[in-house]
Amino acid sequence: MEKPGGSSHWFDTLVQSVNNGNTRFAVSAVSLSGAWTPDVLKPRRGEAYERVQEDSSDTAMVRADYTEECNALMSSLDVLDADIERLTPQCSIPALRPILVADQKMALAARDWKNFAIPLRYLNGRVYRIWATQDLYTEPTIKSVGADVFVSECARYTALERVRLERVKAQRDSLVILIYVGILLWTLLR
């Protein structure tokens, strides 16, 4: 489903609808929910259900920002109401139809948040990671770590990735040499 008013116009309007939108939304070739995150910011299994989360004023601000972003995404889908209603399965109870349409919009907004929202936030010396849920009915899991810890984990990760990439390149170069030697031997022994 194409975004209202064309992709670029839709996204520009979305970014302008929230404070500091350019630091909260971005266009990427892949979903931003896959952004690298240090292990200390990854939720434990079942943590979202335990609701044992950090409960500081900064976490509340990050949660409020998430809610604002989701509301902005929902509003951006208002022009698609007719399309969403047309694509929503028919139900035998007419009064349920608006609820089904609202659910579809919420699902689309949740999908768009994962695709376009930057899940990492910086606030008062801490880096926050928002782990959004599959729908907008439940609150996201929000974890934080000091910026110094985040930067050191980032440095360690990028250094390890550089070594891994150098190994892959060396293996690729070795494979190319083996292929050339194989072709040369094959042509000599023919």
Q: How many helices (H) and strands (E) does the chain have?
A: 6, 3
Q: Across the strands, what pairs with 131?
A: 141
For 35, 62, 122, the CA distances from 145, given in Å and listed in that order, are 16, 13, 10
| Cα dihedral sign, 169-175-177-183 | negative
For 62, other C-beta atoms within 10 Å of its C-beta total: 21
Q: How much is the pLDDT for 70?
A: 92
What confidence tens digit (pLDDT) does each residue in 124-177 have? Answer: 999 999 998 887 878 888 999 999 999 999 888 888 888 888 999 989 988 989
pLDDT range class, residue 7, cuts 50, 70, 90: low
Say if residue 9's pLDDT is above 90.
no
Please give the mean pLDDT across all residues of the chain. 84
Q: How much is the pLDDT for 29?
A: 86
Q: How much is the pLDDT for 100?
A: 79
Q: Which stretches does DSSP call E strand in the chain? A: 120-123, 126-131, 141-146
